[in-house]
Structure 1
Amino acid sequence: MDKATWLGLLVGFGGILLGNLLEGGHMSSLMQLTAFIIVLAGTIGAVMVSSSEKDLKTGLHLAKKAFQKEESDAKKRIQEIVDCARIAKKESLLSLEARINRIDDPLFKGVLRNIVDGVEAETIRDIFETRIETEEEEMLAGAKIWTDAGGFAPTIGIIGAVLGLIHVMGNLTDTSKLGAGIAVAFVATVYGVSSANLLFLPLGNKLKRKVQSISREKQMVLEGGLLIASGMNPVVLEQKLFAFLNEEQK
């Protein structure tokens, strides 16, 4: 569980609710089903129109990562790369063929396969850097649906406010309906602005950073494979790969 995400949501939304209570407001005044439906359905519809089906699926899948503690396998990958470097240094690059099927990481497995097959290092770099960049673009497109939602939600909230005011203006003679209409108008705006700035935009930004971290680890794996092919000393190779890690990963 990512404590920062959960705590941030608690502090953000909790602070608004607490402030409302301190001002003499009531929880029931913020619970407007009509306003909620307008903002939620409108935002979802706008995001669906502006994104592809693949981006939507990727974005929903990535959203889980924002609420889960990041478990990095970077150190495990480095150890695996160093072990392969020792084997190659002690025996030969061809001796790595027997180890390929025992490797879990598909990227490292693909890099080693090309190395064993004698593909030139520059060609390997071009192939897998392009693959990493493509995967990163796809994940960033998925993360973008949340920042898009953050852009649409306040506007949808304003639409809800206008609809509420239209309802009020149409029932000026019926004073019993004025309060409900005005409540929907203002609450819809609160829903739109708060969901955008406390949920959608922060979520999108966090996912972008996680995508960048994933791509950096993939770049580390590729670099490790190429260093094996160059015959670099395993000790030096390990030091170079550790430079890719942040302090928490180290």
Structure 2
Amino acid sequence: MKDLANAVGIGAALGVIMLANILEGGSPASLFLLPPMLLVFGGTLCVAVAGGTMSDARNAVTSVRTALFGKVASSADVVPVIVSLSDAARREGMLALEGRVADIDDPFLVKGVTLAVDGVDPDELRDILEAELHAKKAVDKHSAKFFTDAGGYAPTIGIVGTVMSLVHVLENLADPGALGHSIAAAFLATLWGVLSANVLWLPIAARLKRLSELECTRMEIVIEGVAAVQAGANPRVVAQKLKSLLPVQEQVGEAA
């Protein structure tokens, strides 16, 4: 099931900001000026790309959808599957698991069980699975870093835009009637810089980090579960061990 916390939170925050602007007598349309928005969003994304590699930038683009509409990985769901595999392995042997792989919808667990059935050495099997876990952590870390960097750059880019606009204001002091509008427009760049950092970029980065934590916890449970199955551990012991590795909120759900 998709978790829309990020999309709902960002949308609600923007709605609250617009509502506050209206209650203060402002017009939402006055905030949407193309030059300051182009400078802040375009400049922020460009310098964020400059701080990494093109591969990082491509991964960041695809990770936006994950942040906004991604599923939250439940570690608790995989526990009964591993326990049933443990029970089958003790009763019928490891080769009996070969026919059960097709019914597993977790690719990482399928990979671990397949390697175990193929007779891969337990230490080597753990090394293979942990290497994949570390690789995932590295990819997720760089995706989140892209948006963390953008959140750091945006306010400064906004200040740059404000200074540029104020320079133009000072160049046109001969027209006092236009000064108020020009100064107000100048500060929009700072507004969008601070707003985009704290309402868009940083929340997306935090969301990606959280999803990565949950997915990596699930992978760690799979690694321990496959190792226990391969060792022929008692299914009850396997269940208790894996449940102890669950996040606290999922342990409470299991207890309930």
Q: Partners of 1:176 and 1:49 in 2: how far apart?
A: 41
Contact preservation (8 Å) 1:57, 1:142: no
Q: 1:103 to 1:154 in 2, by over 3 A?
A: same
The residue aligned with 1:90 is 91
Q: 1:163 to 1:240 in 2, by over 3 A?
A: same
The residue aligned with 1:154 is 155
Q: Partners of 1:106 and 1:40 in 2: how far apart?
A: 37
Deviations for 1:107-154, whole angstroms, at most 9, x for unmatched residues? 222222322232222221122112201111111111111111101110
The residue aligned with 1:80 is 81
Q: 2:171 aligned with 1:170, yes or no?
A: yes
The residue aligned with 1:182 is 183
The farther-off stretch of 93-102 and 50-59 is 93-102
Q: CA deviation at 1:223?
A: 0.9
Describe how 1:2-81 pairs up with structure 2 within 5 A: 2-68=3-69, 70-72=71-73, 74-81=75-82
Describe how 1:172-211 pairs up with structure 2 within 5 A: 172-175=173-176, 177-211=178-212
Q: 1:127 to 1:20 in 2, by over 3 A?
A: same
If the length of structure 2 is used for normalisation, what is the TM-score?
0.87
Describe how 1:208-219 pairs up with structure 2 within 5 A: 208-219=209-220
Q: CA deviation at 1:176?
A: 5.1
Q: Partners of 1:226 and 1:81 in 2: how far apart?
A: 10
User: Structure 1 runs of 4+ off > 6 angstroms?
Assistant: none
The farther-off stretch of 125-134 and 17-26 is 17-26
Q: Partners of 1:163 and 1:32 in 2: how far apart?
A: 15
Q: Partners of 1:9 and 1:146 in 2: how far apart?
A: 14
Contact preservation (8 Å) 1:86, 1:234: yes
Contact preservation (8 Å) 1:56, 1:145: yes
Identity across aligned pairs (percent)?
A: 36
Gaps of 5+ in 2: none
Q: 2:222 aligned with 1:225, yes or no?
A: no
The residue aligned with 1:126 is 127
Gaps of 5+ in 1: none
Q: 1:104 to 1:24 in 2, by over 3 A?
A: closer
Q: 1:233 to 1:190 in 2, by over 3 A?
A: same
| SS of structure 1 residue aligned to 2:125 | helix
| SS of structure 1 residue aligned to 2:148 | helix
What amino acid maps onto 1:142 in structure 2? S
If the length of structure 1 is used for normalisation, what is the TM-score?
0.89
The residue aligned with 2:108 is 107
Contact preservation (8 Å) 2:3, 2:72: no
Q: Partners of 2:94 and 2:183 in 1: how far apart?
A: 74
Q: Partners of 1:63 and 1:244 in 2: how far apart?
A: 29
How many residue pairs match? The answer is: 250
The farther-off stretch of 149-158 and 55-64 is 55-64
Q: CA deviation at 1:73?
A: 5.2
| SS of structure 2 residue aligned to 1:24 | coil
What amino acid maps onto 2:21 in structure 1? N
The residue aligned with 1:240 is 241
What amino acid maps onto 1:137 in structure 2? A
| SS of structure 2 residue aligned to 1:74 | coil
Q: Partners of 2:119 and 2:4 in 1: how far apart?
A: 46
Q: Partners of 1:103 and 1:12 in 2: how far apart?
A: 39
Q: CA deviation at 1:224?
A: 0.6
Q: CA deviation at 1:7?
A: 4.1
What amino acid maps onto 2:36 in structure 1? A
